[in-house]
Every structure is written in structure tokens, then in C-alpha cells.
Amino acid sequence: MAIKFAPLKISALQATLSKVKTDLLVVGLFESSKKTTKEIDQLDEVTGGAIRSVLKSNDYKASLNETLFIYPTSTKGPKRVLLIGLGAKNDFDLNRCRRAASVIVRECQKTGIKSIAMDIHDLIPEKFNRKDIGQAIAEGLHFGRYDYFDHLPEKAKAKQPIKVTVIDSLAEQVKTLSQGIRIGDKIGAGQNICRHIANQPGNEIHPPELARVCQRVAKQNNLRCKVFNKRQLTDMKMNAILAVGKGSEHEPRLISLEHKGKSKGGPDVVLVGKAITFDTGGISLKPGLGMQDMKFDKSGGCAVIGIMAAVAQLKLKLNVVGLVTSAENMPAHNSYRPGDIIKTYSGKTVEIHNTDAEGRMVLADALWYGAKMKPKIMIDMATLTGACAVALGSHYAGLFTPDNKLASQLEKSGQASGEPVWRLPVGPEYGNEMKSTIADLKNVADRWGGASNAAAFLQEFVGDTPWAHIDIAGSIVNTSEKPYAATGSNGYAVRLIVDYLRHF
């Protein structure tokens, strides 16, 4: 698979709105406020009063993400104006700004517009720092821009390069806006790498192919990449990863991506991502309905890849190791089975009660491997349980950690990045339910509290490393096309974790 996106160039420019020559000028407005800026009024004049008459008519309410194209009769200003609603001014935050940017770019893609000038930040209250706004705009533009068209060449070809210019009349603000844009550019690109890999179907991406993709991403971003194949995993006794991968014609892989942002010391943070390239459930086969979405069971690993790319591009002064633990969970004559007892890399034994609880198995070995590096913090992300998706739906990911400080930092990053997490319990009550009578652990408990049981199982493999687990099972796909996003992977956890690392 190739990771190449139709170009999107974003820059900030000092200019007067009414004098900008562009295919499209985007202006942001708040709901139930007829307030405009002097800039917008001047623009209104050159466009023959079109904006004023729209606002007067009350047909357009500037409610959240409400758009309206205006085609001025005068030729003095821009060819088109797009109004974008920012909703109520008091409810405004950076997430709304990010999403508005996504809507804008998707609206423009419907037409053949190749250059956009935008001013959505002018009415935004001063308390929002222009650097953060620049970042949110860039992240949102990249997010909205992405489509998975690898198998629709006509649609892929129709995606023209787009140039976006963020306009401001003050030189000082242009400077801060562009600093933010540069950051958002990198995070947005990292997120789209994650989404693009996650969107690949199981017949095109399996663990060895995923490892090759990682090597390519590593090369492009100056990361160190190590790949452990089946023979090496066998030598290291990583029997849990091997067990899950046994029934597949494609061997499992453990992949490590390393960013060295400072010369001294070991890893500050180890990230671990579940990458089951397809989860049939194995011998404990899943029901058929909706099984196609199990190609997204590699999303935790894909998030780690996207995060590592962004971390490298941002040149964070941290040492970060990303581990991608990958297998294909298939039913076959040689698959691992219910009743099997597996001796994991840590030495702990696990009695298999359900081969569909495979994520915690591949994570067990990778977490132990990560813990051995003695990082300051270890965070894993995984599409781990249907139970977490039932509890939280798609709007929050589940956060499990015994560490209150780490929890509040991740909650804060979740709010800031627009990828929020909601804390759920993990602890000995849930851990006790994972004990087996004939091995150290079993891989499932009963139905109730399944997300916390899974987290407690993982905790058995982190030693005393400060650790958090993020269950993204419910939050990683857009099931239908939205005004702000294409169907498919949304790259959840990339912005969240990059924000956490930037404030580490």
C-alpha cells in the first residue's frame, strides 16, 4: 500500500479581506449575532451587499456548521463567499473550530475549488490563543480532507490539490497563526497515516505487510524500526502473540518504532497498540453480521504508527518507543483453541476460554516487553472490548489506570484534542475474576464489566510501570459519511496522545 495524499497546503497571510483574490473566501459567523467586523463590512461592500442581505433575511442562522455559498454579482471581490456557522458564541471552543475547518474543506471538495482564503477566527474571543486556533484549523482541514479512495480511482483522480490561506490583517497574528498551523499540519498528517492504514482491508494488509508499512513510515520520518518475525518471537518465547497468529497463513509480528528526541536516558514513554489485522474471533467464531468492521481491529496499532510519525515530525524532545503487536485471528485446523494453556512472555500462564479475547493476549507480551524497558509511563491503546463500546458509544474512549495524575492528564488532553476519554474502573476486584483454577489467569470472566476485566488482565503484564489503557473499540470508525468526515477510520487517539506527549 502507498501512503500518499492529495496535496493540501495551508499558510497564513497578512491581507485585507475585501482585497483578497480567491476562488472562495470563507467567513465564520456566530449564531444569533448580527455582529460583523469592519473587515467583513468592507468585504460586504465589494460583494455588493450580499452578506448583509443574507444576515437580514434571517434565512441563515449561523448555527453550528451551517454553511451557505454566496455568489456576488460584483466582480471586485472573491468569486464566491462561503459562510460557516460557528454556533453560539458562549459555547465556542477549539473543537468547534477544528470541526468547522473539516466541514469547510469537505464543502469545497464538492466543487472544483482549488484555492480557499479563510477568516473564521476574527470574531473568535481573544482568550483563545491564535497559535491554538491555527493548530485546530490545520488539524481540522487535514481531517476533513481525507478520503479512502484506493479502490475508486476515478474519485481519487478527482481530488485536486487545495491551497488554503488563513487571512489576518495583523502581521503579529499571522506569525502566531502560522506557528500553530505548522504544528497542526504534522498532527493532522500523522492522523491521516493512521486512518489510511486502518482503512486497508484484511486481504491487503496482514502482519508482515503492516511491518513493511512501518518500515516505510520509519524511513520517511527518521524513526528506528525493528521487526520481530515468527522465528524471533519463538526464540523470545512470546507465546501469546504466536498463539493468536497460529491459525493464519500470515505470520504475526511485533514491530517497534523508536524516536530518540534526546541523547540521554531510556524511553520516557512506551506506547503499545493492538493490531489484529482481521479478527474473526478464531475458533470462538464471531457472528457474521458486521464482521467486515473487524478490519478496524488494528486501529490501536495504526494509532501508534500515526503518533510516532507526528512525534518525529514535531521533533519532540522525548524518547518515545511505539510497539505495534500484530496478528491475524483466524479459525483453522492449527488455531489456538479454548482450553489451551499459553505460557506468556512474562512467564504467567493463561487458560484460554474464548479465542475472541485475543487482543489482551497480543498485548500481554508486548506490554511485558515494554515494561522491561523501564519507561516513565506506558500507555496502550486497543479496540479491546465490545463492552466498552456498549458503555460509552462512540463519543468517548474508555480510560483505565490506577494512576490519578496520569488519568487527569489524559482527560485534559482528551478535551483539548477533541478525542475525549472517560475513566472506568480497573483494580483487584476485576483482576480476581480473571484468575484460573488451573493456570495463573484465564482470558475472560463473565459478561458483566467486561471492559474492566480486560483492563485488569492487561495490568498483570505491566509490572510496576505507571500505565494507562485506552479502549477505543467504540470510537474508531465513522459508520456513515458526515459533513466533517469520510466514512471509515477517524484515527482516534492520535491527537489525544500527541497532545499528551507535547505536554509531557
Q: Please give the residue ranges that form the binding site for ligand BES (CB under 6 A).
A: 279, 297, 354, 356-359, 383-387, 389, 444, 450, 473
From residue 291 to residue 320, the character string flagging contacts with Zn ion as x (rule: CB under 5 A) and all else as - is ------x-----------------------
- Using CB distances below 5 to 8 A depending on partner kind, what does residue 199 bind out of Zn ion, ligand BES, none? none
Rounded CA-CA distance 469/266 in Å is 21
Q: Which is nearer to ligand BES, 384 or 399 (CB)?
A: 384
Active site residues: 286, 360
The three cell numbers locating residue 239: 507465546
| 356 lies in the binding site for Zn ion (CB under 5 A) | yes
Which residue's CB comes closest to ligand BES? Answer: 386
| 185 lies in the binding site for Zn ion (CB under 5 A) | no
Cβ 279 to ligand BES shortest distance, Å: 5
Q: Which is nearer to ligand BES, 13 or 390 (CB)?
A: 390
Q: Which is nearer to ligand BES, 86 or 389 (CB)?
A: 389
- Using CB distances below 5 to 8 A depending on partner kind, what does residue 473 bind out of Zn ion, ligand BES, none? ligand BES
- Going by C-beta distance under 8 Å and a sequence separation of 6 or more, which residues neighbour residue 491? 143, 191, 192, 194, 195, 198, 302, 303, 306, 476
Nearest CA among 387, 400, 333, 326 for reference residue 359: 326
Would you tell me the crossing angle of helices 299-313 and 494-502 to the nearest 10 degrees? Answer: 40
| 328 lies in the binding site for Zn ion (CB under 5 A) | no
CA torsion sign for 229, 232, 236, 240 is: positive
Q: Which is nearer to Zn ion, 356 or 380 (CB)?
A: 356
289: Cα within 13 Å, side-chain hemisphere: 0
DSSP codes of every residue in 146-164: ----TT-HHHHHH---EEE
Rounded CA-CA distance 325/359 in Å is 9
32: Cα within 13 Å, side-chain hemisphere: 4
Q: Which is nearer to ligand BES, 137 or 241 (CB)?
A: 241
- Using CB distances below 5 to 8 A depending on partner kind, what does residue 8 bind out of ligand BES, Zn ion, none? none
Cβ 165 to Zn ion shortest distance, Å: 44
Pick one of 44, 139, 168, 279: the residue that binds Zn ion (CB under 5 A). 279
Answer yes or no: are the C-beta atoms of 438 and 449 closer than 8 Å. no
Q: Which residues make up the interface to Zn ion (CB under 5 A)?
A: 276, 279, 297, 356, 358-359
